[in-house]
Amino acid sequence: MHFLTDPQYATLTALCDTLAPAIVRADDPHGFWGRSASDLGVPRLFTRAVRDLQSPEQGRELKLLLDALGHGATALALTGHARPFVQLAPLERERVLQRWSTSPVPQFRRAFQAIKRLTLALYYSAPDASGVNPAHIVLGYARPEPDPAAARRPSAIQTLLPRDGQVLTCDVVVVGSGAGGGVVAGTLAAAGRDVIVIEKGGARSAPDFDDDEYTGYQRYYENQAVLTTEDLGVTILAGSALGGGTTINWAVSFRTPDHVRAEWEREHGVSDLTGAEFTQDLDSVCARIGVNEAEAIAGPSAQRLEQGASALKLPWGPTPLNVEGCVAEGAERCGFCTFGCPRDHKRSTLVTYLEDAAGGGARFLVGAEVERVLLDGGRAIGVQVRTPTGDVTVKARAVVVAAGSLNTPALLLRSGLGNPNLGRHLRLHPTAAMYGDYGKPVGLWHGPMLSRYVSAYTDLDGRGYGVVIEHPPAHPGLLALALPWRSGEQHKRMMARTLHYAAFIAITRDTGSGRVTIGADGRPRIAYQLNDVDGRHLLRGLEAMFDLHAAAGADEVGGPQSGLTPWRRRIDRAGYIGQMRQIGLGVNRAMVLSAQQMGTARLGGSAGTSVVDPYGASWEAAGLYVADASLFPTASGVNPMITAMALARRVARRVASDLG
């Protein structure tokens, strides 16, 4: 069924074409300037994404907005014109969106971001009839040519196709296959336990990974990367595939900082976290996934970060990565395995712990969503699963939930658990980016995805809270979503120069927290806003990134805030920083992202302050365990993969001990 009425669709089309308009220019050999959003079918893709991926509430809100813009009386309050939006001249439409983007009214900023982000992400990533996005040639962007000599072995993991109504039995059912679930499954199966792994995402391996951004988000990301907090203030990237986030992350492999281990032990009752046993857990997972610094060669963006830090005499270092063989085969081909590594050089759980599990006899259900944990007399006895072939029951002696910090609490809430901490204490490591235009090709989508970091600002309050500065990989759709829009022409002009950009990100160890609840449909609802402390820290990170870009030689520097024009060398630094501080980081005043979610089912010393005990066992139900980053009592302050894996190894020991 058509999600929108014809008038609603016409209004949406006008909005999309205002953001990405057709502009007549004589020098347009590839049709880039003259191609509008509707020429590429963006309104249709936008409509499908909202219908299929966003919540019913978000769909209703979009319809209400389009209806209001479609009638003169209600449009007047939104646009200042007593005519439907589609009847406005192109310049009038553009001015409406400009006012929305910087409006003091939160609802206007939210409406602008809701339309802008999805429209521009689709415009610069979706393919045309030829199978390639037509803007890419102007951007200088191209996927690596397939290497016929590259080893692209099929996965050793075989998946089940159960019958509708079938009942499966096992010792341990593991919900989720990422950093936590993969380690638990591999560890227990290797020890002889009968394990079933259930993964909501699809089962793909090296031969399936084609380096394509558009299909990559659809296949390997939670909600196809169309996921935000309820107020749209934070855009969330999370993995949803066999291997979870480890399949598509940036391979950064920091160990849990000692001060964080001590804090969790001292303030949250997480016993034995500073001792030798957890150190051995960290050592073990790092060894299994091949963590090293030798592969952390500096690609183009990393070189700019290193140059800026050296010029400012700031401490920087190579990033530990869980990749092997990239340098030997040519790291210039790297930068695309945020959509899966086609050579298996990234040592994700997909090619390590999950293959260990398969070798130990584990069975796998993929494309399967666990609807609830089955409880009987205060004990977990299995899970109810919706699979592509029907509804399946898995009976188990132990249930390990490792579905991630968004889906783990949602599942446990759907299952009727009532611990008041469940879903609370969500940390997101709020992240903002700044680009630098270096006047010559850089290619921030080339090279090892993240091989340098700057640690000078990680302790801004004396308690270990602040920001770490890294350099991310970025591809056209994500770039278009994140770059500020001030007009259709300005945004196209910026995108046409992205080959010359390097980007840095400031990742905040957040002191504040949010909450995951569930809607009427049982899906996660995410509430989160930056508190004042974290806002100040992130602003300090923006200032630091500005200085790093300028010191590295950027001719132009721009940030994530709406309404802030880029800095160029003739502009006074103090004036630019002052404008940045004045705009601030209020909700939807700037592009804030999260690629690292933690908390929501945290471990601790008592049921009054945590969801599970120090070894991951539920306070409420025997035989129920949690083993993912939702265990974190606070934000880790570093990329969380290694910490989640080490905690999962600890949980696996507890499960094995309880099973006897």
- Dump pLDDT digits (tens) for 432-444: 999 999 999 999 9
Q: Which of 97-111, 148-162, 298-312 shows the lowest mean pLDDT across its residues? A: 148-162
Domain ranges of the chain: 6-123, 163-203+256-288+348-415+602-655, 431-594
The mean pLDDT of 105-127, rounded to a whole number, is 97
Q: How confident is the model at residue 574 (pLDDT cuts 50, 70, 90)?
A: very high
Q: Find the length of the chain.
A: 660
**Encoded tokens for 184:** 């638990």
Query: Considering only CA atoms, which of 636, 614, 627 is closest in space to residue 273?
Result: 614
Q: What is the predicted pLDDT for the residue at 527? A: 98
Max Cα distance, the chain (Å): 76
Contact (CB, 8 A) for 246 and 644:
no
**Mean pLDDT, the chain, integer:** 95
Structurally, what CATH architecture does the domain formed by 163-203+256-288+348-415+602-655 represent?
3-Layer(bba) Sandwich (3.50)
The mean pLDDT of 617-633, rounded to a whole number, is 98
Q: What is the predicted pLDDT for the residue at 492? A: 98
Query: Considering only CA atoms, which of 284, 307, 641 is closest in space to residue 471?
Result: 307
Q: What is the predicted pLDDT for the residue at 570? A: 83
Q: What is the predicted pLDDT for the residue at 641? A: 98
Query: Considering only CA atoms, which of 421, 399, 392 is closest in space to residue 409?
Result: 421
pTM for the model: 0.96
Q: Which of 240-254, 319-333, 499-513, 574-588 shows the lowest mean pLDDT across its residues? A: 319-333
**Encoded tokens for 77:** 């309050």
226 versus 507: the higher-pLDDT residue is 507
Q: What is the predicted pLDDT for the residue at 46? A: 96
Q: Above 70 in pLDDT, residue 561?
A: yes
Contact (CB, 8 A) for 427 and 421:
no
Indicate the SS3 state at residue 344. coil
66/638 Cα distance (integer angstroms): 41
Torsion, CA 646, CA 649, CA 654, CA 660, rounded to 10: -170
Partnered with residue 394 across adjacent β-strands are 168, 383
CA–CA–CA angle 599, 341, 481 (5° rounding): 60
- What letter represents residue 177's amino acid? S
Contacts (Cβ under 8 Å, ≥6 apart) of 161? 388, 389
Query: Considering only CA atoms, which of 4, 11, 161, 23 is closest in space to residue 490?
Result: 23
Q: How confident is the model at residue 148 (pLDDT cuts 50, 70, 90)?
A: low
Residue 137 backbone dihedrals phi, psi, to 5 degrees: -65, -35
What b/e sequence results for 364-378 when a residue is b if at least 16 CB atoms lie within 10 Å of its CB, and e otherwise?
bbbbbbbebbbbeee
Percent of residues, the chain, with pLDDT higher than 90: 90
Residue 589 backbone dihedrals phi, psi, to 5 degrees: -90, -15
Q: Above 90 in pLDDT, residue 156?
A: no
**Encoded tokens for 405:** 């910090």
pLDDT tens track for 495-509: 999 999 999 999 999
